[in-house]
Amino acid sequence: MSTWSLDEWESKANAEKRLVTYQLHITLQQMQQACVGCLAEFLFPAGNYLYTGSARRNLPARVHRHLAPQKKQRWHIDYLLMAPKARVTAVGLFSEAECYCNQQVSGEILLAGFGASDCRAQCGSHLKYLGDQ
Ligand SMILES: [Zn+2]
């Protein structure tokens, strides 16, 4: 599978039952300080990010949750996505494992361990910064 617009991703996700991994393409329009899991205040620079996550059951529901503007903060990514200037611009869908997909992304790790609490593949972070272009 591949990367889809916000209008397309859901029909693709419903049509393909073997999908386990999603990637959120995120644009942050201005820098944002966030208390990630309230372990540390972190200043996210403006620019583009790619977040890789997985859901073994009901992947469309998980992606919907990430796209919802209001939610109880549960995962690290919630703190970034709830920033007023953060937007998900596209959604990638994959049948390959989460860490494999994440490791195909060449981006910068700004915050070690982000979204990687369950990672057993030494990804370092499941959020990568792609720069501000
Ligand atoms: Zn990983």
Averaged pLDDT, 90-95:
97
What is the structure's pLDDT at 71?
Answer: 85
**Domain membership of residue 108 as a residue range:** 3-131
CA distance 87 to 127: 15
Separation of CA 53 and ligand 1 centre (Å) = 9
Separation of CA 31 and ligand 1 centre (Å) = 25
What is the structure's pLDDT at 1?
Answer: 61
Separation of CA 127 and ligand 1 centre (Å) = 10
What is the structure's pLDDT at 47?
Answer: 97
Separation of CA 103 and ligand 1 centre (Å) = 8
Instruction: Inform me whether the pLDDT recorded for 35 exceeds 80.
Output: no
Name the residue with tokens 């990430």.
66
The model's pLDDT over 41-82, given as tens digits with 9 standing for 90+, comes to 789 999 999 999 999 889 999 999 999 988 888 888 998 998
CA distance 23 to 39: 24
- 130, 47 contact by CB (below 8 A): yes
3-state secondary structure of 20: coil
Separation of CA 129 and ligand 1 centre (Å) = 15
DSSP type of residue 78: H
Separation of CA 113 and ligand 1 centre (Å) = 9
Separation of CA 55 and ligand 1 centre (Å) = 14
* Residues near ligand 1 ion, CB 5 Å cutoff: 99, 119, 121, 123
CA distance 38 to 21: 26
Number of domains in the chain: 1
